[in-house]
Structure 1
Amino acid sequence: MAYDEIIDHYSALARAAGAGRVVADCGQDAFERGGFGAAGYDELDVLPEDAVRASLGCGNPVAVAELRDGETVLDLGSGGGIDVLLSARRVGPAGKAYGLDASADMLALARRNAEQAGATNVEFLHGRIERVPLPDRSVDVVISNCVINLSGDKAAVLAEAFRVLRPGGRFGVGDVVVDGEVDSLIDGVVDGVVDGVVDGEVDGEPDMARRASAEQRIGCVAGALPVAEYRESLAAAGFTGVRVTLTADHGDGVHSAIVQAAKPAAGPGVEVRPMRPDDADQVLAIYQAGLDTGQAGFETVAPIWEGFDAARLPHLRYVACDTGTGQVLGWVAASAVSARPVYAGVVEHSIYVHPGCQAQGIGRALLAAFIAAAEDAGVWTIQSGVFGENTASLALHQALGFRVVGTRERIGRHHGLWRDVLLIERRAE
């Protein structure tokens, strides 16, 4: 469906629900058998009937969002407001629940439901989930229920979710997905691509005939991503700790699923996000500042960006930024250790923090985010070499599970002196 057709479709369903009719987003039999709508909720007695009637989701994201008192939550594609109202109850009077929807009819229905429920800590916003009308880092949790699959620009949706979340914020949505891997394994990391190979079988789009059959039978399947692609899209947006749990099998390779992830945690005034090409000058300046200390590596001059970019995997690159100025405070990136397939899950990383920003938790936030992202990608060993005199780096790595596995004695000359290098590694848990 085109965007305008989607809005018209859901606006008509909102009007029907408001008129007291039972609505379904798919064929009624498929809707009921598949657990769509209000079937997954156990708190319906506290909600207005119109909110329950207008529930068109494919799960109960509120049940897995782990909402806490005082938090702010955003529901992308909030429809008649069922998840917003349930979220508002969980975050309590000190918290707030936002609902965002592109249908004016759905918003009108949701506002009537909120008034009927006596909910005062809710606000419904008119807009698209690809352009959320909220400031950066303004919510603690993003939820959604069978809506993201309808977007024609899912990368924009996930980027917006990442943007509005505070560091450490959580992403927990119900959605429709198609055949793909659930347990993350890596294949092709040397090329910088997670191909999703499980037990020798390669993920991919489901057979087109099967998918067409599913879309004809269950209209709300249109636009669903393969599981592996969903995971990769979340990682590209900057999320870590990605989990996809299949909750119902609708046949023809179609599943309902709960999708969970997190924005990397960081200290006050700091955000960890994926490295971008426009970070190049600041990244290289920090690289050079680290080399100038004489304790960061054998190099004396940082490479140009083209050399830096070519030598490192295109994923698993993060920067820590000042949220007020946007200044890059530190970075972490990884390189493949070998082109041999047997080493596909082994990477070597580098982490640099601006000398003026050390001992502020920036390195720890960067390294924690990198470890989580690496494990999501199926990396089983992270390794590096550190000068023994670089005690701060050794302490940081050991605090996050690295161990010294050996010493390469007098391996190279640096400023006229022979230096030892300690080999450190961290194995996936």
Structure 2
Amino acid sequence: MPQHESGDTPHAEVTARYGALAEAARAGEAVVAACGEEAFAAGRFGAAGYEGDEAAGVLPEGAVRASLGCGNPVAVAELAPGERVLDLGPGGGIDVLLSARRVAPGGIAYGVDATPGMVALAEGHAREAGVDNARFLHGRIEQIPLPDGHVDVVVSNCVISLSADKPRVLAEAYRVLRPGGRFGVSDVLAHPGLDPAQREEAEREVGCTGGTLTADEYRAQLLAAGFTDIRITPTAEAGAGLHSALVRADKPPAPGGFTLRPMQERDAGRVLELYRVGIEEGQATFETEPQSWEAFDTGKLPLHRYVAVEEASGKVVGWVAAGPTSSRAVYAGVAEHSVYVASEARGRGVARALVEALVASTEAAGIWMVQSSVFPENTASLALHERAGFRQVGRRERITQHHGVWRDTVLIERRSPLVD
């Protein structure tokens, strides 16, 4: 369960409620969230969500009884031996214990919970089950007590919807994942079309969630955090306009020693410096001076910009960003991109990782075409984009002068096979 500041009364009440449920579970009492027992089972919430999972049959009865989730994210997480997996808000520990069995030998399953009673309960269940590769940590899912790039997979079960700061939770999940890591959670979502009052009433009626998102809102927040390849699959009705769903996404891969993350305002100086170097080299752009950060920021789509960071130094060594090709509505699905990489990082797969992350990001947002204009002399860029699935559409001859010389450009584009 997420932990919130002491002055945040509604969420302090949530934390207190789940602490009380932990005490009830330790006492052997039946544990049902506020949804009500009948709705809990009908919506495949709690233990009902694990029917058919053979691994669940070997868990302590108390772990199953204390399950307050809305599905079985572990069943679709495709865990492999040796991996590290993190469960956000593990409650009684059922998903951590299931994960621990799947990643053994050699793997570790972590659980981060803000309720001390739940941490103690889960640790007891791990001992009872004889699982020695489970680790339960007391902490907030908005501030995960693990280092960057530490886990291969992040799972969660009906917990992110309870956080008052979902963007922070998703950003933290992205941070602790290794490049190429996977995000797979069960959560409660709202049907589209509910106005704020209706959504609030639905959350009050169902009772086991607060601050739900629609699928489109969830997708936008995942994109803002940097995730790509986003898939949201409804699984069961929760009643009153809410439903449970499996939410899956990936952190973009990167070559060894580097990681990709969303571009932020604090990167402005380095981004513009790399842009300036590209201008001086003479083969990247017609521009003769870098834009201001304000002009750059305004001209780029906010959800489709990444930087590549050298892990050892924390230095930004490359960036990619896309802007709208036109302000006309008919071109809403077409974007134009640029990619720049520092000389010391070239030839190491950084540029390709950036371009492929941008492609995956735009596809997840429904953009059907990404394009750019490249000087024909920039053979490295043309080869890079060809490997990333771009094709040359045509050559525009003597389109304008650059430092007093007429230059040609090659128009390249990639049409998404995934976006209709």
- Shorter-chain TM range is over 0.9
- Superposed CA RMSD in Å reads 1.3
Alignment of 1:79-228 (within 5 A): 79-180=91-192, 206-208=194-196, 210-228=198-216
From 279, 283, 286, the equivalent of 2:267 is 279
| SS in structure 2 of the partner of residue 142 of structure 1 | strand
Shift of 1:129: 0.8
In 2, distance between residues paired with 1:346 and 1:216? Answer: 41
Aligned-partner residue type, residue 29 of structure 2:
R
Alignment of 1:5-24 (within 5 A): 5-24=13-32
Contact 2:56/2:98 (<8 A) preserved: no
Shift of 1:209: 5.3
- Post-superposition CA distance 1:131-160 (Å, at most 9, x none): 111111111111000001111111111111
Structure 2 runs not aligned, ≥5 long: 1-8
2:12 pairs with 1:4: yes
| SS in structure 1 of the partner of residue 366 of structure 2 | coil
- Post-superposition CA distance 1:375-418 (Å, at most 9, x none): 11111111100111111100110111100011101112223322
Aligned-partner residue type, residue 17 of structure 1:
A
Contact 1:51/1:110 (<8 A) preserved: yes
Structure 2 partner of 1:413: 401
Aligned-partner residue type, residue 281 of structure 2:
T
Aligned-partner residue type, residue 33 of structure 1:
A
Structure 2 partner of 1:383: 371
| SS in structure 2 of the partner of residue 211 of structure 1 | helix
Q: TM-score, normalised by structure 1?
A: 0.92
- Post-superposition CA distance 1:281-340 (Å, at most 9, x none): 111111111122211122222222222222222221111011122211111111211111
Structure 2 partner of 1:33: 42
From 23, 38, 51, the equivalent of 2:63 is 51
In 2, distance between residues paired with 1:12 and 1:275? Answer: 42
- Post-superposition CA distance 1:99-137 (Å, at most 9, x none): 111111111111110001111111100011111111111
Aligned-partner residue type, residue 176 of structure 2:
V
In 1, distance between residues paired with 2:166 and 2:280? Answer: 42
Contact 1:316/1:333 (<8 A) preserved: yes
In 2, distance between residues paired with 1:242 and 1:44? Answer: 27
Contact 2:74/2:99 (<8 A) preserved: yes
Contact 1:137/1:166 (<8 A) preserved: yes
| SS in structure 1 of the partner of residue 127 of structure 2 | helix
**1:403/1:250 Cα in 2 relative to 1: closer, same or farther (>3 Å)?**
same
Contact 2:150/2:177 (<8 A) preserved: yes
Q: TM-score, normalised by structure 2?
A: 0.94
2:233 pairs with 1:245: yes
Aligned-partner residue type, residue 119 of structure 2:
L
Shift of 1:53: 0.3
**Percent of aligned pairs with the same residue?**
60
Contact 1:317/1:331 (<8 A) preserved: yes
In 1, distance between residues paired with 2:358 and 2:23? Answer: 47
In 2, distance between residues paired with 1:330 and 1:113? Answer: 46
Structure 2 partner of 1:399: 387
Structure 2 partner of 1:189: none
Shift of 1:164: 0.7
Aligned-partner residue type, residue 156 of structure 1:
R
Q: Which moved more, 1:112-121 or 1:39-48?
A: 39-48
Aligned-partner residue type, residue 26 of structure 2:
G
Structure 1 partner of 2:88: 76
Aligned-partner residue type, residue 18 of structure 1:
R
Contact 2:255/2:350 (<8 A) preserved: yes
| SS in structure 2 of the partner of residue 2 of structure 1 | helix
Contact 1:221/1:254 (<8 A) preserved: no
Structure 1 partner of 2:4: none
Q: Which moved more, 1:267-276 or 1:211-220?
A: 211-220
Contact 1:47/1:82 (<8 A) preserved: yes
From 355, 364, 373, the equivalent of 2:361 is 373
In 2, distance between residues paired with 1:232 and 1:407? Answer: 36
Shift of 1:3: 2.4
Aligned-partner residue type, residue 11 of structure 1:
G
Contact 1:137/1:164 (<8 A) preserved: yes
2:77 pairs with 1:65: yes
Alignment of 1:333-372 (within 5 A): 333-372=321-360
Structure 1 runs not aligned, ≥5 long: 181-203
Shift of 1:251: 3.0
Shift of 1:428: 0.9
Shift of 1:360: 0.7
Shift of 1:212: 4.4
Aligned-partner residue type, residue 414 of structure 2:
R
Aligned length in residues? 405
Q: Which moved more, 1:285-294 or 1:90-99?
A: 285-294
Contact 1:214/1:221 (<8 A) preserved: no
- Post-superposition CA distance 1:172-195 (Å, at most 9, x none): 000000013xxxxxxxxxxxxxxx
Contact 1:289/1:355 (<8 A) preserved: no
Shift of 1:234: 0.9
